[in-house]
């Protein structure tokens, strides 16, 4: 997202404060359906809350009059977003979209990472899990794209590819092995939703590093992709061993799933 384009849709209220309409930002960020973009806004609201900002201050809801396709006037939901709200939306958007990737770079340049590092240390364990799970969702999108370029097409092939990464990190355990150990129904729930912050951080490192290696080495073969994922997972595990950290399979399973925490946060926001 070029700065000029983003700044062009900026508005000023009667007090001279800047704001952006969500539906105008939706167009710039290349989201065709409001329903899909609204999901990103909901995630950004949760990020806003765990960063200890008032959601209502950054995402005030407004109603905009329009003429429907049948020629009838009606009001639709919109938001008057602050710059910080726009930042959170972009950072939680689909990184596979070029405009989102550019927007993330744009905001990263303008954001002091030190402030966020200090904030992270102040978060509760549940909020750290939410924060990391959001990052993993983003990186997994990019990893899936890299895997597709390597010829991994079907769901079965992608599940096998994922298992290579888990086997490297978890000393031979597949995703199903991890789910069984945690007592999770792998067909209905994600094992990532039942990991604590340390286990999530290890998996985030595995995912992000694998995507980076595959992209830089231009891997275009399924076997090479699987082997790369396994070796990266193994390298992350070796790093944990060298530093004396607890192995991921030995870390305790949290009482609540990520979905339960998200549901509670959404309730608090409402």
Measured in residues, the chain has a length of 270
Residue 17 per-residue DSSP state = -
**Which residue stretches of 94-221 are H helix?**
98-110, 113-122, 125-149, 155-169, 175-182, 197-216
Contacts of 25 (CB under 8 A, 6+ apart): 9, 81, 86, 89
Encode pLDDT of 11-46 as tens digits. 998 888 899 999 999 999 999 999 999 999 999 999
Encode pLDDT of 214-264 as tens digits. 999 999 999 999 999 999 999 999 999 999 999 999 999 999 999 999 998
Q: Are 29 and 103 in contact (CB under 8 A)?
A: yes
Choose the weakest-confidence range: 3-12, 83-92, 234-243.
3-12
Question: How confident is the model at residue 2, as a pLDDT?
Answer: 44
Q: Are 214 and 230 in contact (CB under 8 A)?
A: no
Give the pLDDT band of residue 159 (cuts 50, 70, 90): very high
**How many angstroms separate the Cα of 265 from the Cα of each of 24, 136, 185, 252?**
26, 19, 24, 23
The encoded tokens of residue 183 equal: 């007592």
């Amino acid at each position: 997202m070029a700065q000029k384009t983003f700044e062009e849709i900026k508005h000023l209220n009667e007090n001279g404060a800047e704001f952006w309409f969500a539906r105008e930002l939706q167009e710039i960020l290349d989201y065709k359906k409001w329903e899909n973009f609204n999901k990103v806004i909901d995630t950004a609201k949760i990020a806003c809350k765990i960063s200890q900002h008032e959601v209502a201050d950054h995402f005030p809801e407004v109603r905009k009059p329009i003429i429907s396709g049948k020629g009838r006037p009606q009001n639709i939901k919109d938001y008057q977003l602050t710059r910080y709200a726009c930042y959170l939306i972009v950072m939680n958007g689909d990184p596979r979209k070029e405009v989102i990737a550019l927007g993330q770079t744009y905001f990263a340049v303008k954001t002091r990472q030190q402030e966020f590092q200090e904030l992270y240390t102040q978060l509760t364990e549940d909020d750290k899990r939410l924060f990391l799970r959001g990052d993993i969702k983003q990186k997994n999108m990019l990893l899936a794209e890299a895997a597709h370029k390597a010829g991994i097409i079907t769901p079965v092939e992608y599940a096998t590819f994922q298992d290579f990464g888990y086997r490297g990190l978890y000393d031979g355990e597949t995703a199903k092995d991890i789910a069984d150990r945690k007592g999770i129904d792998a067909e209905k729930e994600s094992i990532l939703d039942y990991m604590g912050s340390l286990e999530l951080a290890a998996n985030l490192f595995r995912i992000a590093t694998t995507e980076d290696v595959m992209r830089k080495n231009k891997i275009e073969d399924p076997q090479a992709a699987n082997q790369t994922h396994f070796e990266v997972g193994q390298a992350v595990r070796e790093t944990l061993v060298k530093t004396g950290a607890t192995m991921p399979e030995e870390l305790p399973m949290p009482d609540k799933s990520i979905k339960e925490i998200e549901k509670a946060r959404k309730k608090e926001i409402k």
